[in-house]
Amino acid sequence: MTAPADLSPAALRALARRGDWTGSTAGASRGWLQCNLAILPEAYAGDFEAWCRANPRVCPLVAVGKPGDPRLPALGSDIDLRTDLPGYSIFRHGEPAGHAASVGELWRDDFVAFTFGCSFSFEDVLIREGVDLRYLARGEREAIYRSTLESIPAGGFAGPLIVSMRPLQPADAIRAIEVTARYPLAHGSPVHIGKPAAIGVDPDRPMETLGRVSVQDDELPVFWACGVTPQLAIRQAAPDLCITHRSAHMLVTDIPMATLRDRSVAEGSPPLN
Amino acid sequence: MTAPADLSPAALRALARRGDWTGSTAGASRGWLQCNLAILPEAYAGDFEAWCRANPRVCPLVAVGKPGDPRLPALGSDIDLRTDLPGYSIFRHGEPAGHAASVGELWRDDFVAFTFGCSFSFEDVLIREGVDLRYLARGEREAIYRSTLESIPAGGFAGPLIVSMRPLQPADAIRAIEVTARYPLAHGSPVHIGKPAAIGVDPDRPMETLGRVSVQDDELPVFWACGVTPQLAIRQAAPDLCITHRSAHMLVTDIPMATLRDRSVAEGSPPLN
């Protein structure tokens, strides 16, 4: 089941908060920024932020929380990061330790929350710009893959890029590159196009998919950096406890995508802090 | 032989004017706008301008001359369009009627000159933006092809798109799309990428090339609209006499490429008129 495209971000968060929505946010609340989430102990926050800044297409920082504070008012006055995502992934000493629908019992006074843009956010922008996302009409969704591209290491954080792939006809691929380049806070332009084997990807063998995925003969696979990437980097740094969004279960924010056009990844503080 | 990259536009035009330079302008006067040229009788000017405006990626109008006037001061105070290009192509009743190094004897009081940006202009921009134009290092140049893409007809002007192809590695292709999208006056972003057969192109069989051309296994062919396209459209409209630049023999102007970034193809008069 797909979350309603026309549900307001606040309404979707309220559903998730009550445990009434535990599904993917793909296609949900079209027109609003969706964010990846990573929550780490403060001792790791500096290194993780350095890693994000070294890899702006992977983790374009949007806003960072205060230590111990589960709120993020810059992205929505009512946001509670312990409950407002429809799903969380938990990592203990870098190893996956299951999923949860809320993480209130795990919250700690030294947790720092990092949010960065998600490619779900730009599908609506692409549609408005006339890009034909034929895979949606075929009832398909993007898939994610582990690539042989490597993120730039920082502190203890390192690891391969996870990429999301969308199959597009050549003219639509060109337009999608032009459009997403103007939204660096939602991953920006793709990291790869065509030639999946060049980055170690077999399109028929995704790591995860939100549905059926196929690349037609007249299409090119187009690959964007994916916000699942930090879940592998976290394995390297291995903090005792870390919480992320569950893949495809995003924080839906009150930030309209239209306000992020040409907004660049900041050098100093995250742009929406 | 290649024209010097560091020769000023005025110096290159002076060489052409004296008949001392009759070669290609590929790679010449790096950093300056090079223009395609089409000179037609005034009776055809309205229809041709309509066709250019209908196909802005093919013929992004930069400046249009006054009837009978071979000067174009907006692009260079000394420009004489009868002599300042290193080569011209002549069309009589739409049919090719040979080349010339100058066209002073053919000039007429009812001639109107149209200039529009050329993809030669953006190679320097791509290099500055860190795009690896490996084909240059291989001693190769772009090639041009007749495609099955059709221009949008206007007046009596119609015909297929001629495209220029540059082989690029995927990440460089993405960056090249981003960069050229910001220069709509020099054709803007590509019209096609990968899958040459989809637009009726066999990369090994160019219509014309400035040198050897090859697409390596790790490269994608990237296709931009080419300013040779009007030479086919002119065959359809068939004015009694028409003069264009000779393929790859451009008008090198005094307009720095840097001033054209984000400058769009105008709705009203050509932007540099």
CATH code at position B151? 3.30.2040.10
A150 touches chain B (CB under 8 A): no
| pLDDT of res. B42 | 97
Instruction: Please check whether residue B73 lies inside any domain of the structure.
Output: yes
Residues A116 and A19 in one domain: yes
Dihedral of CA atoms B102, B185, B133, B250 in degrees, nearest 10, equals: 0
CA B178 to CA A243: how far, in whole Å? 35
B171–A192 CB contact, under 8 Å: yes
Mutate to test the interface with B, among A168, A193, A218 (most CBs of B within 10 A): A193
Domain housing A170: 130-225
CA distance A169 to chain B (A): 9
Distances, alpha carbon A144 to alpha carbons A193, A223, B246, in Å: 14, 9, 49
CA distance B97 to chain A (A): 35
| pLDDT of res. B3 | 66
Q: Burial code of B66-84, b = ≥16 C-beta within 10 A, e = fewer?
A: eeeebbbebbbeebbbbbb
Instruction: Please check whether residue A272 lies inside any domain of the structure.
Output: no
Residues A243 and A207 in one domain: no
A174–B177 CB contact, under 8 Å: yes
| pLDDT of res. A3 | 66
| pLDDT of res. B43 | 97
CA distance A266 to chain B (A): 20
Instruction: Please check whether residue A266 lies inside any domain of the structure.
Output: no
Residues B141 and B208 in one domain: yes
In this prediction, residue B109 has a pLDDT band, given cuts at 50, 70 and 90, of very high
pTM of the model: 0.92
Are B13 and B76 within 8 A, CB to CB?
A: yes
Q: A129: buried, middle or exposed (CB in 10 Å: 19+, 13-18, 0-12)?
A: middle
Instruction: Please check whether residue A158 lies inside any domain of the structure.
Output: yes
Instruction: Please check whether residue B3 lies inside any domain of the structure.
Output: no
Looking at the structure of chain A, the number of domains it has is: 2
Instruction: Give the position of tokens 């993780």.
Output: A48
Residues B36 and B159 in one domain: no
Instruction: Please check whether residue A3 lies inside any domain of the structure.
Output: no
In this prediction, residue B273 has a pLDDT band, given cuts at 50, 70 and 90, of confident
Residues B219 and B241 in one domain: no
Q: Mean pLDDT per segment of 10 residues, for chain A of length 273 residues?
A: 81 95 91 96 96 95 96 96 97 96 97 94 92 93 94 95 96 97 95 97 88 91 95 93 95 95 81 82
Q: B57: how many CB neighbours lie within 10 A of its CB?
A: 17
| pLDDT of res. A85 | 97
Q: B205: buried, middle or exposed (CB in 10 Å: 19+, 13-18, 0-12)?
A: exposed
What letter does residue B265 receive in the DSSP assignment?
P
Query: Is B164 strand, coil or helix?
Result: strand
Residues A108 and A140 in one domain: no
The dihedral through the CA atoms of B35, B39, B40, B45 has a sign that is: positive
Residues B60 and B138 in one domain: no
Residues B19 and B83 in one domain: yes
| pLDDT of res. B16 | 95
Residues A15 and A115 in one domain: yes
Between A and B, how many CB-CB pairs are < 8 A? 57
| pLDDT of res. B208 | 80
Residue predicted with more confidence, B187 or A1: B187
Residues B15 and B98 in one domain: yes
In this prediction, residue B257 has a pLDDT band, given cuts at 50, 70 and 90, of very high
Distance of CA A180 to the CA centre of its chain: 14
Residues A243 and A110 in one domain: yes
| pLDDT of res. B209 | 74
Q: B4: how many CB neighbours lie within 10 A of its CB?
A: 15
CA A104 to CA A70: how far, in whole Å? 9
Q: Which residue of B has its CA nearest to A199?
A: B170
CA distance A198 to chain B (A): 7
Distance of CA B160 to the CA centre of its chain: 16
Instruction: Please check whether residue A75 lies inside any domain of the structure.
Output: yes
Instruction: Please check whether residue B273 lies inside any domain of the structure.
Output: no
Q: Burial code of B131-156, b = ≥16 C-beta within 10 A, e = fewer?
A: bebbbbeeebbbbbbbbebebebbbb
A189–B195 CB contact, under 8 Å: no
| pLDDT of res. B269 | 77
Q: What CATH number is associated with residue A245?
A: 3.40.1640.10
Residues B114 and B162 in one domain: no
| pLDDT of res. A96 | 95
